[in-house]
């Protein structure tokens, strides 16, 4: 990301085109966040609803279990916290101090 950010106008593709597929990963949207999701592993049932609903694919899953947030891309929308079942509520949104 930081490398892309440093590119000068002479190094960018013409007309703002993106010349390679699937490179949105290189664009770190984590900086847009105001609230950061905080996960409580004690409460989590690994239902993975949060993973299904996260619009940015910012939730890691390993061996069928919740495995962390990708904070480079998480925009802090809070959808994961909203989707986590009411009786579980394993995710809380916390104001992020920068």
Partner 1 sequence: MAKTLGLTGNEAVAYAIMQINPDVMAAYPITPQTALVQKFADFLADGDVDTEMILVESEHSAMSATVGASAAGARAMTATAANGLALMWEIVYIAASNRLPIVMPVINRALSAPINILCDHSDTMGCRDTGWIQIYSENAQEAYENTIQAVRIAEHPDVLLPAMVTQDGFIISHGMEDVTILEKEQVQKFVGEYKPHYPLLDPEHPVSYGPIDFHDFYFEHKKPQVDAMENAKQVILDVGREFSKLSGREYGFFDAYRMEDAEIVAIMMSSTAGTTRPVVDELRRQGIKAGLLKLRVFRPFPAEEIVAALQGKKAVAILDRAISFGAQGGALFSEVCSALYNAGQRIPVINFLYGLGGRPAEIENIQEVYQKLQRIVQTGKVDNLINYLNLRE
For the segment 16-45, give every residue that binds partner 1 (CB under 8 A): 16-21
Phi and psi for 60 in degrees, rounded to 5? -85, 145
> How far apart are alpha carbons 56 and 25 in whole angstroms?
10
CB of residue 6 to partner 1, shortest distance in Å: 10
> How far apart are alpha carbons 33 and 31 in whole angstroms?
5
Residue 30's binding partner out of ligand SF4, partner 1, none, with CB under 5 to 8 Å set by partner kind: none
Please report where in the chains the tokens 């664009």 appear, as a residue. Answer: 27
Residue 14's binding partner out of ligand SF4, partner 1, none, with CB under 5 to 8 Å set by partner kind: partner 1
12 touches partner 1 (CB under 8 A): yes
- Count the residues in the chain: 98
For the segment 69-98, give every residue that binds ligand SF4 (CB under 6 A): 69, 74-80, 83-84, 88, 90-91
Max Cα–Cα distance, the chain, nearest Å: 54
Residues that bind partner 1 (CB under 8 A): 5, 7-10, 12-21
């Amino acid at each position: 990301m930081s490398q892309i950010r440093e590119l000068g106008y002479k190094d960018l593709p013409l007309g703002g085109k993106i010349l390679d597929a699937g490179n949105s990963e290189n664009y770190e949207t984590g900086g847009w966040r105001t609230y950061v999701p905080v996960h409580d592993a004690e409460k989590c049932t690994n239902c993975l609803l949060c993973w299904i609903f996260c619009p940015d694919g910012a939730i890691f899953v390993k061996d069928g279990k919740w495995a962390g947030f990708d904070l480079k891309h998480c925009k802090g929308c809070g959808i994961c916290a909203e989707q986590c079942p009411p009786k579980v509520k394993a995710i809380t949104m916390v104001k992020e101090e920068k």
